[in-house]
Amino acid sequence: MKTKTSLSDALDSYYNSNIKILHLDSESNLNVTILPATILIVDRKASLAIEKVNDSSEHFTEAVGLSSYSTSEPTVISYISIFENFWNQLELYQKLKQHDKMQQEFINIAAHELRTPAQSILGYAELAKTDPQHLEQTQSFMDGVYRNALRIQRLTKDILDVTRIESETLRLNKIKFDLKEVILIAIEDTTLMLSPESNRVKLKFKNIMNSGGEVVSHSDDIFVVGDRNRITQDITNLLETALKFTSKGVVSVDVARKKKQEEQDHEEVIVTVEDTGSGSSPEIFPRLFTKFSSKSFSGTGLGLYISKNIIEAHGGKIWAQNNNDNGKRGATFSFSLPLN
Protein backbone atom coordinates (compact mmCIF):
# COMPACT_ATOMS: atom_id res chain seq x y z
CA MET A 1 0.00 0.00 0.00
CA LYS A 2 1.49 3.35 -1.02
CA THR A 3 1.61 5.91 1.76
CA LYS A 4 3.53 9.17 2.28
CA THR A 5 4.95 8.04 5.63
CA SER A 6 5.44 4.68 7.26
CA LEU A 7 3.66 3.68 10.46
CA SER A 8 6.94 4.10 12.39
CA ASP A 9 7.46 7.61 11.00
CA ALA A 10 3.90 8.58 11.86
CA LEU A 11 4.15 7.32 15.41
CA ASP A 12 7.58 8.91 15.87
CA SER A 13 6.21 12.28 14.85
CA TYR A 14 3.20 11.90 17.13
CA TYR A 15 4.79 10.50 20.27
CA ASN A 16 8.00 11.44 22.03
CA SER A 17 11.21 9.43 22.28
CA ASN A 18 9.86 7.34 25.17
CA ILE A 19 8.03 5.22 22.60
CA LYS A 20 10.13 2.31 21.34
CA ILE A 21 9.13 1.04 17.91
CA LEU A 22 10.49 -2.23 16.54
CA HIS A 23 9.90 -2.91 12.87
CA LEU A 24 10.47 -6.04 10.78
CA ASP A 25 9.99 -6.24 7.04
CA SER A 26 10.44 -8.81 4.29
CA GLU A 27 13.89 -7.38 3.42
CA SER A 28 15.44 -8.19 6.80
CA ASN A 29 17.59 -10.93 5.19
CA LEU A 30 16.54 -13.42 7.86
CA ASN A 31 16.01 -17.03 6.89
CA VAL A 32 12.36 -16.79 7.87
CA THR A 33 9.10 -16.13 6.06
CA ILE A 34 7.56 -12.76 6.91
CA LEU A 35 3.79 -12.96 6.60
CA PRO A 36 2.09 -10.41 4.28
CA ALA A 37 0.48 -8.72 7.23
CA THR A 38 0.99 -5.84 9.64
CA ILE A 39 0.78 -6.65 13.33
CA LEU A 40 0.61 -3.78 15.80
CA ILE A 41 1.01 -4.42 19.53
CA VAL A 42 0.38 -1.58 21.99
CA ASP A 43 1.61 -1.61 25.62
CA ARG A 44 1.66 -5.44 25.53
CA LYS A 45 -2.10 -5.31 26.13
CA ALA A 46 -3.77 -5.11 22.73
CA SER A 47 -2.96 -6.36 19.22
CA LEU A 48 -4.16 -5.43 15.76
CA ALA A 49 -3.37 -7.78 12.85
CA ILE A 50 -4.09 -6.51 9.33
CA GLU A 51 -3.73 -8.78 6.30
CA LYS A 52 -2.31 -7.16 3.17
CA VAL A 53 -4.18 -8.19 0.01
CA ASN A 54 -3.09 -5.67 -2.62
CA ASP A 55 0.05 -3.81 -1.59
CA SER A 56 0.08 -1.68 -4.75
CA SER A 57 -3.35 -0.20 -4.18
CA GLU A 58 -3.64 3.45 -3.17
CA HIS A 59 -6.92 2.83 -1.31
CA PHE A 60 -6.80 1.36 2.17
CA THR A 61 -10.01 -0.65 1.81
CA GLU A 62 -8.67 -2.35 -1.33
CA ALA A 63 -5.21 -2.96 0.13
CA VAL A 64 -6.26 -4.84 3.27
CA GLY A 65 -8.20 -8.02 3.85
CA LEU A 66 -9.07 -9.79 7.06
CA SER A 67 -8.23 -7.79 10.21
CA SER A 68 -8.52 -8.73 13.83
CA TYR A 69 -8.29 -6.74 17.03
CA SER A 70 -7.73 -8.50 20.34
CA THR A 71 -7.21 -7.68 24.00
CA SER A 72 -6.90 -11.35 24.91
CA GLU A 73 -3.69 -11.85 26.90
CA PRO A 74 -2.79 -15.27 25.33
CA THR A 75 -3.23 -13.85 21.82
CA VAL A 76 -1.20 -10.72 22.53
CA ILE A 77 1.56 -12.70 24.28
CA SER A 78 1.73 -15.08 21.31
CA TYR A 79 2.23 -12.19 18.88
CA ILE A 80 4.85 -10.66 21.19
CA SER A 81 6.74 -13.95 21.44
CA ILE A 82 6.83 -14.41 17.66
CA PHE A 83 7.81 -10.83 17.02
CA GLU A 84 10.57 -10.75 19.66
CA ASN A 85 12.04 -14.00 18.33
CA PHE A 86 12.23 -12.46 14.85
CA TRP A 87 13.71 -9.25 16.29
CA ASN A 88 16.39 -11.11 18.28
CA GLN A 89 17.34 -13.08 15.18
CA LEU A 90 17.65 -9.85 13.20
CA GLU A 91 19.88 -8.24 15.84
CA LEU A 92 22.13 -11.30 15.97
CA TYR A 93 22.32 -11.40 12.17
CA GLN A 94 23.31 -7.73 12.01
CA LYS A 95 25.98 -8.21 14.69
CA LEU A 96 27.39 -11.20 12.81
CA LYS A 97 27.49 -9.16 9.60
CA GLN A 98 29.33 -6.34 11.38
CA HIS A 99 31.75 -8.80 12.98
CA ASP A 100 32.44 -10.48 9.63
CA LYS A 101 33.08 -7.08 8.04
CA MET A 102 35.47 -6.03 10.81
CA GLN A 103 37.25 -9.39 10.67
CA GLN A 104 37.73 -9.11 6.91
CA GLU A 105 39.04 -5.55 7.29
CA PHE A 106 41.48 -6.76 9.94
CA ILE A 107 42.72 -9.59 7.72
CA ASN A 108 43.35 -7.09 4.92
CA ILE A 109 45.13 -4.67 7.27
CA ALA A 110 47.18 -7.40 8.98
CA ALA A 111 48.22 -8.81 5.58
CA HIS A 112 49.36 -5.33 4.55
CA GLU A 113 51.19 -4.76 7.84
CA LEU A 114 53.01 -8.09 7.51
CA ARG A 115 53.78 -7.75 3.81
CA THR A 116 55.56 -4.39 4.14
CA PRO A 117 58.23 -5.42 6.70
CA ALA A 118 58.57 -8.86 5.14
CA GLN A 119 59.38 -7.30 1.77
CA SER A 120 61.86 -4.96 3.45
CA ILE A 121 63.61 -7.85 5.20
CA LEU A 122 63.91 -9.76 1.94
CA GLY A 123 65.19 -6.67 0.16
CA TYR A 124 67.83 -5.85 2.77
CA ALA A 125 68.94 -9.48 2.95
CA GLU A 126 69.29 -9.63 -0.83
CA LEU A 127 71.39 -6.45 -0.87
CA ALA A 128 73.64 -7.79 1.91
CA LYS A 129 74.18 -11.02 -0.02
CA THR A 130 75.15 -9.22 -3.23
CA ASP A 131 77.73 -6.94 -1.56
CA PRO A 132 79.17 -8.72 1.52
CA GLN A 133 82.60 -7.04 1.24
CA HIS A 134 81.35 -3.56 2.18
CA LEU A 135 80.88 -4.14 5.90
CA GLU A 136 79.59 -0.64 6.71
CA GLN A 137 76.85 -0.81 4.06
CA THR A 138 76.00 -4.36 5.08
CA GLN A 139 75.55 -3.20 8.68
CA SER A 140 72.92 -0.66 7.59
CA PHE A 141 71.15 -3.46 5.72
CA MET A 142 71.15 -5.58 8.89
CA ASP A 143 69.74 -2.64 10.86
CA GLY A 144 66.84 -2.54 8.40
CA VAL A 145 66.31 -6.29 8.76
CA TYR A 146 66.26 -5.97 12.56
CA ARG A 147 63.88 -3.00 12.55
CA ASN A 148 61.35 -4.72 10.29
CA ALA A 149 61.63 -8.02 12.13
CA LEU A 150 60.61 -6.12 15.28
CA ARG A 151 57.51 -4.84 13.45
CA ILE A 152 56.48 -8.40 12.62
CA GLN A 153 57.16 -9.46 16.21
CA ARG A 154 54.96 -6.63 17.54
CA LEU A 155 52.09 -7.60 15.24
CA THR A 156 52.22 -11.26 16.22
CA LYS A 157 52.30 -10.27 19.92
CA ASP A 158 49.26 -8.02 19.44
CA ILE A 159 47.31 -10.80 17.77
CA LEU A 160 48.26 -13.21 20.59
CA ASP A 161 47.23 -10.65 23.22
CA VAL A 162 43.83 -10.16 21.59
CA THR A 163 43.36 -13.93 21.59
CA ARG A 164 44.15 -14.02 25.32
CA ILE A 165 41.79 -11.14 26.05
CA GLU A 166 38.94 -12.74 24.08
CA SER A 167 39.47 -16.11 25.79
CA GLU A 168 39.85 -14.40 29.21
CA THR A 169 43.30 -15.94 29.72
CA LEU A 170 45.25 -12.68 30.03
CA ARG A 171 47.35 -13.05 33.17
CA LEU A 172 49.02 -10.28 35.18
CA ASN A 173 52.28 -10.71 37.09
CA LYS A 174 51.81 -7.98 39.70
CA ILE A 175 54.76 -6.48 41.56
CA LYS A 176 55.50 -3.12 43.18
CA PHE A 177 57.46 -0.89 40.79
CA ASP A 178 58.40 2.73 40.12
CA LEU A 179 55.99 4.13 37.53
CA LYS A 180 58.27 7.09 36.78
CA GLU A 181 61.10 4.74 35.81
CA VAL A 182 58.78 2.75 33.51
CA ILE A 183 57.66 5.94 31.75
CA LEU A 184 61.25 7.10 31.20
CA ILE A 185 62.23 3.70 29.78
CA ALA A 186 59.19 3.67 27.47
CA ILE A 187 60.06 7.17 26.19
CA GLU A 188 63.70 6.18 25.63
CA ASP A 189 62.85 2.93 23.82
CA THR A 190 60.24 4.64 21.64
CA THR A 191 62.70 7.42 20.77
CA LEU A 192 65.29 4.84 19.67
CA MET A 193 62.73 3.23 17.37
CA LEU A 194 61.84 6.49 15.61
CA SER A 195 62.55 6.52 11.89
CA PRO A 196 64.89 9.23 10.48
CA GLU A 197 61.94 11.14 9.00
CA SER A 198 60.39 11.41 12.49
CA ASN A 199 63.21 13.59 13.87
CA ARG A 200 60.91 16.62 13.92
CA VAL A 201 58.96 15.06 16.80
CA LYS A 202 60.27 15.30 20.36
CA LEU A 203 59.23 13.02 23.23
CA LYS A 204 59.50 14.42 26.73
CA PHE A 205 58.52 13.70 30.32
CA LYS A 206 56.77 16.68 31.93
CA ASN A 207 56.36 17.52 35.61
CA ILE A 208 54.91 15.18 38.20
CA MET A 209 52.13 16.85 40.18
CA ASN A 210 50.35 15.96 43.36
CA SER A 211 46.60 16.31 44.03
CA GLY A 212 47.08 19.96 44.99
CA GLY A 213 48.63 20.81 41.65
CA GLU A 214 52.08 21.24 43.20
CA VAL A 215 55.06 20.08 41.17
CA VAL A 216 56.87 17.09 42.65
CA SER A 217 60.55 16.57 41.79
CA HIS A 218 61.29 13.87 39.23
CA SER A 219 63.46 12.31 41.90
CA ASP A 220 60.30 11.54 43.88
CA ASP A 221 59.14 8.06 42.93
CA ILE A 222 55.56 6.95 42.37
CA PHE A 223 55.18 3.28 43.20
CA VAL A 224 52.22 1.24 41.94
CA VAL A 225 51.33 -2.43 42.16
CA GLY A 226 50.79 -4.02 38.79
CA ASP A 227 52.29 -5.91 35.88
CA ARG A 228 55.38 -3.86 35.00
CA ASN A 229 55.72 -5.29 31.48
CA ARG A 230 52.04 -4.76 30.67
CA ILE A 231 52.04 -1.15 31.93
CA THR A 232 55.18 -0.52 29.86
CA GLN A 233 53.36 -2.00 26.87
CA ASP A 234 50.39 0.27 27.53
CA ILE A 235 52.50 3.46 27.71
CA THR A 236 54.39 2.43 24.58
CA ASN A 237 51.10 1.86 22.74
CA LEU A 238 49.91 5.35 23.67
CA LEU A 239 53.22 6.93 22.61
CA GLU A 240 53.15 5.12 19.27
CA THR A 241 49.52 6.13 18.72
CA ALA A 242 50.44 9.78 19.37
CA LEU A 243 53.43 9.56 17.02
CA LYS A 244 51.27 8.06 14.28
CA PHE A 245 49.31 11.32 14.02
CA THR A 246 52.13 13.74 14.80
CA SER A 247 54.48 14.69 11.96
CA LYS A 248 56.16 17.46 13.95
CA GLY A 249 55.94 18.98 17.41
CA VAL A 250 55.95 17.40 20.85
CA VAL A 251 54.59 14.26 22.46
CA SER A 252 54.67 14.69 26.24
CA VAL A 253 53.88 12.46 29.20
CA ASP A 254 52.42 13.85 32.44
CA VAL A 255 51.80 12.14 35.78
CA ALA A 256 49.49 13.36 38.54
CA ARG A 257 48.31 12.02 41.89
CA LYS A 258 44.73 12.72 42.88
CA LYS A 259 41.96 11.57 45.20
CA LYS A 260 39.39 9.24 43.71
CA GLN A 261 36.08 11.06 43.22
CA GLU A 262 34.00 8.19 44.56
CA GLU A 263 36.48 7.27 47.32
CA GLN A 264 38.18 10.31 48.84
CA ASP A 265 40.27 8.16 51.19
CA HIS A 266 41.89 6.43 48.19
CA GLU A 267 44.42 7.87 45.77
CA GLU A 268 45.04 7.14 42.13
CA VAL A 269 47.71 8.12 39.64
CA ILE A 270 46.81 9.49 36.21
CA VAL A 271 49.22 9.18 33.30
CA THR A 272 48.55 11.50 30.36
CA VAL A 273 50.08 11.35 26.88
CA GLU A 274 49.47 14.54 24.90
CA ASP A 275 50.52 15.27 21.32
CA THR A 276 50.40 18.22 18.91
CA GLY A 277 49.34 16.22 15.87
CA SER A 278 46.20 16.05 13.79
CA GLY A 279 44.04 14.36 16.43
CA SER A 280 41.83 11.31 15.98
CA SER A 281 39.40 11.08 13.07
CA PRO A 282 35.75 11.81 14.03
CA GLU A 283 34.87 8.61 12.17
CA ILE A 284 37.13 6.51 14.37
CA PHE A 285 36.87 8.37 17.70
CA PRO A 286 33.62 6.77 19.01
CA ARG A 287 35.17 3.29 18.68
CA LEU A 288 38.76 4.24 19.48
CA PHE A 289 39.26 1.50 22.09
CA THR A 290 37.48 -1.28 20.20
CA LYS A 291 39.07 -3.94 18.04
CA PHE A 292 40.12 -3.10 14.49
CA SER A 293 39.45 0.63 14.91
CA SER A 294 42.12 1.50 12.36
CA LYS A 295 41.34 3.67 9.34
CA SER A 296 42.61 2.45 5.98
CA PHE A 297 46.08 0.88 6.29
CA SER A 298 47.42 3.03 9.13
CA GLY A 299 47.81 0.09 11.54
CA THR A 300 45.89 -2.91 12.80
CA GLY A 301 43.72 -1.02 15.29
CA LEU A 302 44.61 -3.45 18.10
CA GLY A 303 46.96 -1.35 20.27
CA LEU A 304 44.36 0.79 22.03
CA TYR A 305 42.01 -2.17 22.46
CA ILE A 306 44.81 -4.10 24.19
CA SER A 307 45.72 -1.03 26.30
CA LYS A 308 42.12 -0.65 27.47
CA ASN A 309 41.95 -4.25 28.64
CA ILE A 310 45.34 -4.05 30.37
CA ILE A 311 44.34 -0.94 32.34
CA GLU A 312 40.89 -2.28 33.26
CA ALA A 313 42.50 -5.55 34.44
CA HIS A 314 44.49 -3.38 36.88
CA GLY A 315 41.30 -1.73 38.19
CA GLY A 316 41.92 1.51 36.27
CA LYS A 317 40.27 3.45 33.47
CA ILE A 318 41.45 4.77 30.10
CA TRP A 319 40.01 7.60 27.99
CA ALA A 320 40.89 10.05 25.21
CA GLN A 321 39.90 13.43 23.84
CA ASN A 322 40.84 15.67 20.94
CA ASN A 323 42.45 18.96 21.99
CA ASN A 324 40.11 21.74 20.86
CA ASP A 325 40.58 24.35 23.59
CA ASN A 326 42.44 27.63 23.02
CA GLY A 327 43.53 26.69 19.54
CA LYS A 328 45.39 23.58 20.73
CA ARG A 329 45.98 20.71 18.32
CA GLY A 330 46.33 16.99 18.69
CA ALA A 331 44.84 14.52 21.14
CA THR A 332 45.26 13.52 24.78
CA PHE A 333 45.19 9.93 26.01
CA SER A 334 44.95 9.27 29.75
CA PHE A 335 44.71 6.29 32.06
CA SER A 336 44.39 5.88 35.82
CA LEU A 337 45.81 3.29 38.20
CA PRO A 338 44.89 2.86 41.88
CA LEU A 339 47.63 3.76 44.37
CA ASN A 340 46.05 2.15 47.42
Do 208 and 276 have their domain in common? yes
Give the C-alpha separation, 6 to 40, whole Å: 13
190 plus 261 within the same structural domain: yes
The number of domains in the chain is: 3
31 lies in a domain?
yes
Q: Does residue 150 sit in the same domain as residue 35?
A: no
* Residues 181, 151 within the same domain: no
Q: Let me know whether 191 and 273 are in one domain.
A: yes
- CB contact at 8 A, 224 and 269: yes
Per-residue pLDDT at 133 = 64
| Mean pLDDT confidence for 232-251 | 89
Residues 309 and 212 in one domain: yes
What are the tens digits of pLDDT across the range 303-333?
Answer: 888 999 999 999 999 999 888 766 678 889 9
Closest CA to 230 of 122, 157, 322: 157
Reported as a single tens digit per residue, the pLDDT across 20-58 is 555 555 455 555 444 555 666 666 778 777 787 777 777
What is d(CA 164, CA 172) in angstroms, rounded to the nearest whole number?
12
In angstroms, the first-to-last Cα distance of the chain is 66
The strand order across the sheet containing 267-275 reads 215-216, 201-209, 249-259, 267-275, 331-338, 317-322
Q: Who has greater pLDDT, 178 or 9?
A: 178
Q: What is the CATH number of the domain that holds 156?
A: 1.10.287.130
**Would residue 80 count as lying in a domain?**
no
275 and 130 in a common domain: no
Number of CB atoms found within 10 A of residue 232's CB? 17
Regarding predicted confidence, which is higher, 160 or 312? 312
210 and 308 fall within a common domain: yes
Calculate what percentage of the chain has a pLDDT beyond 70.
Answer: 68
* pLDDT score recorded for residue 177: 93
For residue 15, is pLDDT > 50? no
Asked whether residue 133 is assigned to any structural domain, the reply reads yes
The residue among 181 and 70 whose pLDDT is bigger is: 181
> Residue 51 domain-assigned?
yes
Rounded to an integer, what distance in angstroms lies between the CA atom of residue 179 and that of residue 272? 13
Domain contains 118: yes
Q: Is residue 222 part of a domain?
A: yes
Residue 4: which region, alpha, beta or left (left: phi > 0; alpha: psi -120 to 50)?
A: alpha
Are 299 and 156 part of one and the same domain? Answer: no
Distance in angstroms (rounded) separating the CA atoms of residues 180 and 310: 18
Q: Is 239 within the bounds of a domain?
A: yes
Q: What's the pTM?
A: 0.60
The last residue of a domain, from among 166, 192, 215: 166
Interval 277-290: pLDDT, tens: 887 777 777 788 88
- Note whether residue 148 is domain-resident: yes
Domain residue limits at 225: 174-338
CATH code of residue 232 = 3.30.565.10
pLDDT category of residue 227 using cuts at 50, 70 and 90: very high
pLDDT, position 296: 44
For residues 131 and 259, which has the higher predicted lDDT (pLDDT)? 259
Whether residue 220 has pLDDT greater than 90:
no
What separation in angstroms does the CA of 311 have from each of 23, 233, 304, 315, 317?
Answer: 40, 11, 10, 7, 6
Same domain, 185 and 325: yes
Same domain, 159 and 222: no
Q: How far apart are CA 36 and CA 24, in angstroms?
A: 11
CA–CA dist 246, 323 (Å, integer): 13
Q: Which of 127, 143, 166 is the last residue of a domain?
A: 166
Among 149, 166, 183, the domain boundary falls at 166
Confidence category of residue 226, pLDDT binned at 50, 70, 90: very high
Answer yes or no: is pLDDT of 238 > 90.
Answer: yes
Quote the DSSP letter at residue 198: G
| pLDDT, mean of residues 243-248 | 84
Residue whose C-alpha is closest to residue 155's, from 294, 287, 309, 317 = 294
Q: What residues contact residue 234 under an 8 Å CB cut-off, 6+ apart?
A: 306, 307, 310, 311, 335
pLDDT computed for residue 302 by the predictor: 81
B/e letters for 297-322, b = 16+ CB within 10 Å, e = fewer, are eebbbbbbbbbbbbbebbebebebeb
Based on the fold, state whether residues 193 and 129 are members of the same structural domain. no
